[in-house]
Amino acid sequence: MYQYRCACCNQVLSSADKSCPNCGSHYIRSPFGFWFFCIITCLVMAVGVMAGKLYFKQNQDAVTPKKVITDLMQSGKN
């Protein structure tokens, strides 16, 4: 599935081939179609959103106890 193929005769080609050795066609189909980039983009975005949510959650967890301590210290001073 992830192979370069000739668009004319469907001959399997290597990525280095510039033309088809079978029929001489220069039209080589790339294994990485639009759908492939679409799926990769979706995956990257999903991972990014998940990482962002985790990051903010961790930040909130890290900030909240500090805020409580500083609030306590300030109330103690007053």
CA angle, residues 14, 20, 26, in degrees to nearest 5:
105
Structure tokens at 41: 């983009």
> Which one of 8-16, 34-42, 56-64, 67-75 is the stretch in contact with Zn ion (CB under 5 A)?
8-16
14: helix, coil or strand?
A: coil
Instruction: Kindly state the smallest distance separating residue 27's Cβ from Zn ion, in Å.
Output: 8
63 makes contact with Zn ion (CB under 5 A): no
By rule CB under 5 A, what string of x and - marks binding of each residue 15-54 to Zn ion? -----x-xx-x-----------------------------
Could you give the CA distance from residue 54 to residue 13 in angstroms, rounded to a whole number? 44
12 near Zn ion (CB under 5 A): no
